[in-house]
Amino acid sequence: MDGREPTARLVPNPRRGTVDRERIEAAVLEILRAIGEDPEREGLRETPRRIAEMYAELFSGLHRDPAVHLEVGFEDEEHHEMVVLKDIPFYSSCEHHLLPFHGVAHVGYVPNGRIVGISKVARVVETLARRPQVQERLTSQIADLLMDRLHAKGAAVVIEAEHLCMTMRGVKKPGSVMVTSAMRGLFRDDARTRAEFLSLIRAR
């Protein structure tokens, strides 16, 4: 057992096509009318178009395959030590309310003969974040993708994020931070490897 998890459920195939901006604009118009606003007044006249453009950007990860960022790597049979990229800023949208959640991701892996440029790890995080998401799924998707595409000996992801659906509505607890983790391979099976990763991401 190498600790790898199946990725088919956690990393969906990218949807082909483009964002239908006209449908978004029409939907926003209806929302504005439904809340009792006048979409024809000056301040709101361009709002449907602006939101359509914003959604096209925020959800661009739906139409991109995050695995492409891991296709260009380097064969390195000599390096078998942990690689860590921490404090990767990200912005995503909670799929329950379509409100933002944002924070930082810490990602580590132990190579198994193949490494990738550190910018590629950050791009994986960004691509998977730019979808309607939940933090738990996002954390697992990153770890499983590294295991699947790099055939890593282990992968670890910790995400710390603040959720606006919790801070600006509902329970209204600003400053609350949600922490999720996903440990695969050596990070799950070896307490020393896991402890080393956690100490590295906590170090300032």
Q: Give catalytic residue positions.
A: 94-97, 135, 163, 165
- The DSSP element (H or E) to which 31 belongs, if any, is helix 21-34
- Kindly state the DSSP code that residue 153 receives in the 8-state scheme: S
In sequence order, what are the beta bridge partners of 75?
A: 114
Cα 152 to its chain centre, rounded Å, is 20
Which of 8, 189, 204, 4 is CA-nearest to residue 104? 204
Neighbours of 8 (CB within 10 A): 9
Alpha-carbon distance of 46 to 149, in angstroms, equals 43
Select from 133, 136, 79 the least CA-distant residue to 109. 79
Phi, psi at residue 58, to the nearest 5°?
Answer: -65, -30
Cα separation of 57 and 198, whole Å? 33
Rounded CA gap, 121 and 84, in Å?
A: 10
Distance of CA 81 to the CA centre of its chain: 25
